[in-house]
């Protein structure tokens, strides 16, 4: 029975020994908190207002990746799931950026 379970784990790509400890989850939570504080700080800096959208998009992508990789355990699953998720996230990010550029161009053209 144990051999069968090991064989299934190997085939599914799950590595139980590589899962993070509770300390690692606390560290990730602290990193996410610091990134959130940095986002709030950037929002209130007038000198960074020109780059606000780019900075906030970048920081939110990093935070989203951390949450998905660690809290959703995607880092420890089969690589196919990571590739599919990354592809979807890249497409969604490109669509968001294209919409921002489109609306910005529309606003400047109508003025």
**pLDDT band of 5, cuts 50, 70, 90:** low
**For residue 86, which of 98, 35, 94 has the smallest C-alpha distance?**
94
pTM for the full model? 0.63
CB 21 within 8 A of CB 12: no
Q: In the numeric block, which tokens belong to residue 69? A: 């990789």
**pLDDT band of 39, cuts 50, 70, 90:** very high
């Amino acid at each position: 029975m144990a051999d069968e379970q090991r064989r299934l784990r190997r085939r599914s790509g799950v590595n139980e020994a590589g899962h993070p400890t509770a300390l690692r989850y606390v560290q990730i939570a602290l990193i996410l908190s610091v990134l959130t504080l940095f986002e709030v700080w950037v929002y209130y800096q007038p000198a960074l207002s020109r780059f606000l959208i780019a900075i906030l998009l970048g920081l939110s992508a990093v935070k989203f990746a951390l949450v998905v990789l660690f809290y959703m355990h995607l880092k420890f699953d089969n690589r196919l799931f990571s590739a599919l998720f990354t592809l979807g996230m890249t497409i969604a990010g490109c669509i968001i950026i294209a919409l921002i550029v489109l609306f910005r161009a529309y606003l400047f053209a109508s003025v």
